[in-house]
Amino acid sequence: MYKTTSTNVLVKISTHTSEAQRAEWINHIRWIMRLPLEGLSIARPVAIVERPRPGYVMELMDGLLPLSALLDLSECSMLGGADPAEKLSGFLETGGLKRRVALLGRLARLLADLHGRGLAFGDLAPSNVFVSQAREHAEVWLIDCDNLCFCSRAVKDSMITPDYGAPEILRKESGVNTLTDIWSFAVIAFRLLALSHPLKGDMVNDGGPEVEEAALRGELPWVDHPTDRRNEMSTGLPREIVLTDRLRSLFSECFGEGLASPGARPSMAAWAAAFEAASALTVLCEASDCGNHFFAEKSLQCPFCDHRNSPENHLILTHRLYAPELRDPDEELDPGVWVKTGDYVVLSLDSPLELRRSPVGTSLYSQSDPLLSIELTRTGLKVTPCDGCEVSINRVDGGDPFAITRPQRLKSESRRGGRWVLHLGGRDSGHPTWTFKW
Ligand SMILES: [Zn+2]
């Protein structure tokens, strides 16, 4: 891969030694140029170079760097740091938990879209995932898409990055396909979050290269296997801190049963939804010397520094479907009218949130229309409906809902811990709601 004198233009030149291999490669690149990749953040070939050696031209936006640079920086400080703060410094400098989850959510969604078009990426590794250099952004681009294929493609060893290749590829039983993409994604995600490889526990780290090769071929259990602890890991960040329960169960499916049975690996759409759900649970710790984000899944106590964050600065919104058509006139309490979906989000002080028709963490979220924005400030809770959206609010213990047609604020002085419902839709038919205590 080479930079050129033109801004944002890169060139990749064939490294094949024989004329026949070069011709085959160029044919494959021409085929990739015709693939339906519109709207996907993939730097694809836009023109073929014929002389002096075959290659192709691609465009890539400015201000990106490979994910491998983030990983190297984080793992270096983890291994070399003298105390816990120094060990974590690389993790924090590269954006901490919140940014990692956002980047992985974007990457998962991109791969889910690609798989949805019947295509597999082929050689997914941190060196060909490019992300925003600036910490406040979370752009994700895939480059080096030479191995893109429909369904499946045979590969040569040299094309695969061993740490990220699925076990069945390293056992030479399979080419690349969407299930091997899922494996590679899961390894990247685990490594970025836990700062350790999911197959390289103490047994591998203390053993020779042959033990590592056996682990990568899937001959040893993964590091968090619940019963077979042969390869457990004493390094890396604790998974209970860096993963939500939902993410932990996806990793467990992928590296547990999915180690030997590729079909058991969770789909990219499931990963994308779980990372988007995790994003909605991240909270910035208030302690001045901490600077970490954490998942407010079970409590507001920061697991990095143990500081108890103030409940006044956070509001938990719980998603329920309201289904009046299920009402049974003979039943006093209308069981079934309010259906809890298990989705929730944390609203933090001065961090406005957009609520859509489908809640974050569901497969429809990414295509769902925004209905309102909600913001917690020192003066109260502000709800701003989007144009033309039917939104209303009421206290659970009294009163009919009143329609919100312009920005409205529940004042801080009125916050007494009572339950409220925000209705996203007309009162007479079924619609989603968010409930919270105010
Ligand atoms: Zn903290």
> In the predicted model, is pLDDT for residue 223 greater than 80?
yes
Cα angle for residues 28, 30, 35 (degrees, 5° grid)? 90
**Is 284:315 a contact under the CB 8 Å cutoff?**
no
The identity of residue 186, as a single letter, is A
Range with lowest mean pLDDT among 69-73, 222-226, 363-367: 363-367
Distance 30 CA to ligand 1 centre (A): 51
Q: How far is CA 219 from CA 211, 224, 323, 421, in A?
A: 9, 15, 50, 52
Distance 289 CA to ligand 1 centre (A): 8
Region 6-23: what's the mean pLDDT?
Answer: 88
- Is residue 250 very low, low, confident or very high in pLDDT (cuts 50, 70, 90)? very high
Long-range contacts of 232-237 (CB under 8 A, 24+ apart): 232/201, 232/202, 233/196, 233/200, 233/201, 233/202, 234/202, 235/78, 235/195, 235/196, 235/202, 235/205, 236/78, 236/194, 236/195, 236/196, 237/78, 237/91, 237/193, 237/194, 237/195, 237/196
Record the tokens describing residue 137, joined without a space.
């952004």
Q: Tell me if the domain spanning 310-437 has CATH number 3.90.930.
A: no
399 Rama class: left (phi>0) / alpha (psi -120 to 50) / beta:
left
Range with lowest mean pLDDT among 121-125, 139-143, 150-154, 243-247: 150-154
Burial of residue 382 (CB within 10 Å: 0-12, 13-18, 19+) is middle
Distance 84 CA to ligand 1 centre (A): 13
Q: What is the pLDDT of residue 232?
A: 96
Distance 346 CA to ligand 1 centre (A): 17
DSSP 11-77: EEE----SHHHHHHHHHHHHHHHTS--TTS-B--EEEEE-SSS-EEEEE--SSEEEHHHHHHHHHHH
Distance 251 CA to ligand 1 centre (A): 25
Cis peptide bond prior to 311, omega within 30° of 0: no
Distance 347 CA to ligand 1 centre (A): 17
Q: What is the pLDDT of residue 157?
A: 61
Distance 241 CA to ligand 1 centre (A): 11
Q: What is the pLDDT of residues 43-82, one digit of tens each?
A: 999 999 988 888 999 988 889 999 999 999 999 999 888 8
Considering the segment(s) 68-196+236-279 as one domain, its CATH architecture is Orthogonal Bundle (1.10)
Distance 91 CA to ligand 1 centre (A): 14
Distance 136 CA to ligand 1 centre (A): 20
| Better-scored residue on pLDDT, 399 or 348 | 348
Residue with tokens 């730097």: 43
In angstroms, the first-to-last Cα distance of the chain is 56
**Is 223:202 a contact under the CB 8 Å cutoff?**
no
Distance 222 CA to ligand 1 centre (A): 29
Q: What is the pLDDT of residue 172?
A: 92
Where are the alpha helices (H) located in 119-244, listed in sequence order? Answer: 167-170, 178-194, 202-206, 209-216, 239-242
The identity of residue 60, as a single letter, is L
> In the predicted model, is pLDDT for residue 335 greater than 60?
no
Q: What is the pLDDT of residue 158?
A: 62
Distance 114 CA to ligand 1 centre (A): 37
> In the predicted model, is pLDDT for residue 290 greater than 70?
yes
Distance 296 CA to ligand 1 centre (A): 12
Q: What is the pLDDT of residue 79?
A: 87
Q: What is the pLDDT of residues 175-221, one digit of tens each?
A: 999 999 999 999 999 999 999 999 999 999 999 999 999 999 999 99
Distance 135 CA to ligand 1 centre (A): 19
Distance 294 CA to ligand 1 centre (A): 8
Q: What are the beta bridge partners of residue 132?
A: 64
